[in-house]
Structure 1
């Protein structure tokens, strides 16, 4: 069997050292291919290294462990097996949520050899099961869907968006929006006529939109379904959307592809 490789994402150096020492005792043949200290680096290194196992701290700077898992599920290339995910957390409520919804396992801080040994045993069993291993990405994608935030029923719906354009305020009816696209600190509001930037986040914007009409299709994109002309699935199963009155093509991530299944 090929050597098993693991990537560790933990922002506290003392705790990452403790985990590495415990893994060295319990699984000496495991190769640690990297240790990173934030969620952004975790995504970058996981995509570059393509490890077999990913130990993810739930609460990290940049991106949370769950956000890292979602981004990897969206961006993971075709072919390589998706890593088994283990969440490492000091908060039991987070651990239970992670274990039930999107992780192969979880361990609590401070690291216990007894508890970690059980995790190691489960990981080895999953790695030995080729059928289960090949379906890991599909399993994680399905479980991540249950973690998607739901808009609050009592939230007042946006009717008009006010976007600053130079020394003017552009009044944009929400019904005219083709899609919203999150950038670093802004959201790009795209209509058939123009694009405008507003300073907010998708997390804050989503509860103000009608969830029956506005669907999140990617971690950074929300589309107005009334403006979707057709959804196209290519030979690899990837989905793209063509919009009315626009040449823009939107990509639908694996996490949200189920929204476009045939009725």
Structure 2
């Protein structure tokens, strides 16, 4: 019997990446289909009856957590997400395992080994899942839940680039895209500045303008130009960034 899986993620490059990784670690696994949101995932699970659903958490419409409530009794659910603060809630809603993006091959191989052992068996009791999670955390093998975004995903041609937030100097947005600026590269993403402001550590990234978030430790100095505006100078980058009046209190001593 061929074991089948459904991949659910609102970003096509992430679906492609996971499909490629699965082909490496479990070449016999059949990919029954791909879904871009929770509604598609529920419809395709009912129609295709996959053994496994690899499920993103943050998606438009029903979240991965909400979707898992409908799917965990039909398929083995594995969460794949960039945010590890959902770990306990994921297990509470029937996830068999939990993977962080970008998915490491060794970690995915371990998950696939666990799945092979579970295929054909009913979903484990949720209390057992939580007990197993507690044991993992006690042994120090589970990551402590983090509140803030650690990686940015940017499409570069046909490839997906993963950028650590520690590399980023600033974000700047317009109506459709957000510019991601590092010391060596300039990339565009579709995530809005409001989403980024909610997801990034506010002690590491400050909003200095309605269209600009800057990494605090990239700031070299703040000066005033001949029009009296506060301007931020950055390390390893020639561009100066304007501080709007609404955010000037960040630098009150000037």
**TM-score between both structures, scaled by the size of structure 2:** 0.47
**TM-score between both structures, scaled by the size of structure 1:** 0.46
